[in-house]
Structure 1
Amino acid sequence: MTVKELIEKLSLKIVAGEEGINKEVKGGFTGDLLSVVMGNAKEGQVWVTIQSHINIVAVAVLTNIACIIVTEGFEIDQDAIIKANEEDISILVSNKSSYDMIKELIEIGIG
């Protein structure tokens, strides 16, 4: 599945990184502590978090994840949007809780 297909299936809003929507999604990871994400996220995973600042883009680049889903309706910092566009990191947003988003990811086969 691609990030684009994920957006369509889960009705997510893309706020940055439209150039990265053709990346392949290979699994999922959730976490809000950046050091944990850096140490444990795998290439191609979807990262579910409530973090919305510029450092999420640096972590995404470092771990080579497929995209970031920011939950709970948190607004993305403008600096993060600019950097995500530069790095082709798709940032998607949802008003759903992280728990509900993870359930939906599992339901569509992302585990």
Structure 2
Amino acid sequence: MGFLRLFKPPSHQQFSYKPRYWDPKKEESEARQKRVEQLQEGGVDAMKTRISGGFRKGAGGAAAGSYRNARVKRSNATLFIVIICLMVISYLALMVYFPDMSAWLS
């Protein structure tokens, strides 16, 4: 009877997934509280905690993201102005010199 199983597709595997509740704010506050406790204790562990916290935040802390966004906006605005200026200069150059070049070519 095993030859009849050749034409029957295999059944899919099932598993039971039980989602757990995860509160990122609570986890962050617990990590912050643990860090503060380690900083208050002092010593080598406090120094390690302070340094690792600085690496996680980045060089500028929370303000670094807004600073970078401001710099990107400023850079984009400068690029836009340069492109507009080059287009105006090109248009003027074509209007002034192109009639002379077309007469010279013909």
Q: Which has more strand, going by share of residues?
A: 1
TM-score, normalised via structure 2 length: 0.14
Q: Which has more helix, going by share of residues?
A: 2
